Amino acid sequence: MDAASAHNSPGASTLDALAAADSAGIRLRGSLVNANLAAYVVLGLAAFQWLLIVISHCVVQRRYVRRRAFVDRPAEDYPGVTIIRPVKGVDLGMQRTLESSFCQEYPGPLEILFAAEDPDDPAIEVINEIIGRYAKINARVLVGKDNVGINPKVNNMLKAFDQAQHDLLWICDSNVYTDPGTLRRSVDLLLDNKRLGVIHHVVFSEAPATFAAMLDNAFLTTNHCRMYLAINAFGIASCLMGKSNLYYKSALDNVGGLASFGQYLAEDNMIGQALWHSGWGHTMTGDLACQPADTGGFAEYCSRRIRWVRTRKYNVTAATLYEPLTESIMLGLLTSWALQHLYGYHMLPTFTTFMLCWFGMDMLFYYRINRGSPPSWPWFVLSWLCREALALPLWIVAIIGDTVVWRGQRFRFHLNGTVDVLK
């Protein structure tokens, strides 16, 4: 029998069919192994995210519900502090936010410097009225603009940084209100631990007046606040926002000075990283950096979220790429699939249960850290649902672009986090 006949014989055909079936079985088993592995990875990520949620609630209980009392020490032990508040235009609730700096229950020397670019800025009139009512406090307005980079905030407040009388600085945005005990509690931490060099306060939105502001409020008071507290609880890297930060001027001078961070749009993140890598520890008090929810419209809300994600993409790339897995809908869908694949649970009831649990934990988180309910539970719940649904689409838009608009200027990012101004 020749080779062709042997190959076409019934026995040979049977062997070929068995070989093909065996090969298909191997591929099927390989696919199942890969799917099982993916499902276990998803469940691991879900477990880790729920761990972060539990940690954030523990932090709220330990730090915010049971807020630290003042340390009993002589007034002369408290160092002088310079509060720097850059301003540009009149913010929502500006009288209240700026006046909170004058109401600090701080026993040490205090200086308040307001930095404005334009002598005709309407915020100056508001500031002068407040200064007139607190004549005993050393406060003044500095007007002018340096040009050390593309960051308008750095360019504005550099003059205040250079003229500050005290080494300990408190950089606080113009739209932030802080509790009267915030500064003293912050300095108490610095005095108790000489290895600390940065005290920061989590941003918390309040009093939304439009639905877009409610969306921003839902984000800042649940997802953002919760993740911010959980990440900082680990204390393995710098994670801070520049809304309300205390640090030493001399320490910042040792890492290049404020002017060297003018090339970055996210100067707060870069300053935090530089101080962290220089050996200065970061921590937080049980105080909130409260800002009025001033988002005017839906387009503004979307633009702000896109800018935040796009900025983080070039500064903390790995964390930004992981971000969708910290959102309820994406993680809930993946978890539901994994439980169906491995254990046969139906996806719809599993996903529904997942979302209800997530929602309940967020509502509890808000209630506890806010020490009370939102102005309207129905509106807060609706804005929370819409915020969750918008999270992934806005993240996708942010990831595929490299430009942002901030304060009327368009910027393009480079891979190292620096930006160029686009004309």
Contact 190, 166 (CB under 8 A): no
Residue 362 annotated among the catalytic residues of the structure: no
The CA–CA distances, whole Å, from 20 to 4, 6, 191, 279 equal 19, 18, 74, 62
Helical axes 123-133 vs 94-102, angle rounded to 10°: 40
For 231, residues 6+ apart whose C-beta sits below 8 A from its C-beta are 52, 239
By DSSP bridging, strand 196-206 and strand 244-248 are antiparallel
Among candidate residues 121, 268, 294, 362, the one labeled active-site is 268
Contact 177, 102 (CB under 8 A): no
Give catalytic residues, as residue numbers: 268
